[in-house]
Structure 1
Amino acid sequence: MTWFSFRSFTAALGAACLGLLTSCEGTSEAQPQIPLTAFSEVLYLTDQQNSALRFDNGAVYHKGGVRGLIVVRQNASTYLAFERTCTYNSADTCARVKISPFVQLVDPCCKSQFNFQGQVQGGPANLPLRRYPTSLSGNVLTITN
């Protein structure tokens, strides 16, 4: 390859890369990141405050994460823990997911809806809720990040 064709190639490659980078600016998919936070929380499933976790699709609030956690029981051996910060416009102080009586999770601020697996069901959010690892030992559920 000659010097001239190499320069032309690198200039074209640079222009293409710049075009790709700038084409994403200003789109509705550019969402603020939810900050990472280290924590380790323990839930005792026998506590009265966690009684909703005795049934499949039961959900409770718990401390931890950035704006708190929602813990959902899928079955007797599987529990999911989600960040309460909504994935749509997470920097907004109002962006906090709540447990809805209609068997879903909802951000009342932006109206995004999520199922009990954390997947988007409606609203402007297009990313699932942040999920944290859980570990079950007897009646003790540990949630970590």
Structure 2
Amino acid sequence: MLLSLALTLPACNSGGNAQPQIPLAAVSEVLFLTDQQNSALRFDNGAVYLRGKPGVRGIIVIRQNASSYLAFDRNCSYQSQDTCARVFIEPFVRIYDPCCQSQFSFQGQPQGGPATLPLRRYTTALSGNTLTITN
């Protein structure tokens, strides 16, 4: 089974239009939801940027509901090696990259522009008012 999977993988990239992958970065962050700087996370679809330089180009955290949060790398999935390949939040509307004009849903899925791959998603774990983000 593994051999057959290994033999089929090269065929996936034979189309010639493969987008480079977002580089991997070690992520281990703790976010306190009660901090004033995270007040946007008190509302569904509220989003914040993490302070510092976690991830490849930073991290965006989005509240889906009171018990579910998503975290994405700010590195755009389209031409991820470009220095301007960084996504931004349009509050309560979308995530977008002004450089290539790609747009993403708050679930990290491409919705417009040239990007066809989702944003890199990190694992989130909620315990009380503490959100841990890892990969």
TM-score, normalised relative to structure 2: 0.86
Pairing partner for 1:60 from 44, 48, 56: 48
Q: 1:129 to 1:22 in 2, by over 3 A?
A: closer
Question: How far apart are 1:31 and its partner, in Å?
Answer: 1.3
Of the two, which has the highest radius of gyration?
1
* Cα distance in 1 for residues equivalent to 2:103 and 2:130: 29
* Cα distance in 1 for residues equivalent to 2:107 and 2:13: 34
Q: Does 1:84 align with 2:74?
A: yes
Counting only pairs closer than 5 Å after superposition, residues 1-145 of structure 1 correspond to structure 2 as: 23-25=14-16, 27=17, 30-62=18-50, 63-101=53-91, 103-145=93-135
* Cα distance in 2 for residues equivalent to 1:37 and 1:58: 25
Structure 1: tracts of 5 or more residues without a match = 1-16
* Cα distance in 1 for residues equivalent to 2:12 and 2:121: 29
Question: How far apart are 1:24 and its partner, in Å?
Answer: 2.5
Q: Over residues 81-136 of structure 1, what are the superposed CA-to-partner deviations in whole Å (9 max), with x where a residue is unaligned?
A: 00100000000010000001461000000000001011111000001111100000
* Cα distance in 1 for residues equivalent to 2:13 and 2:122: 33
TM-score, normalised relative to structure 1: 0.80
Tell me which of the two structures has the higher relative contact order, counting C-alpha pairs closer than 8 angstroms and 6 or more residues apart. 2
Number of corresponding residues: 124
* Cα distance in 2 for residues equivalent to 1:58 and 1:99: 10
Q: 1:22 to 1:67 in 2, by over 3 A?
A: closer
Q: Percent sequence identity over matched residues?
A: 74
* Structure richer in helix, relative to its length: 1
Q: 1:24 to 1:45 in 2, by over 3 A?
A: same
Q: Over residues 43-94 of structure 1, what are the superposed CA-to-partner deviations in whole Å (9 max), with x where a residue is unaligned?
A: 0000000000001000000141110000000000000000100000000010
Q: Which contiguous aligned blocks of 4+ residues in structure 1 show a shift greater than 6 angstroms?
A: none
Give the superposed CA RMSD: 1.8
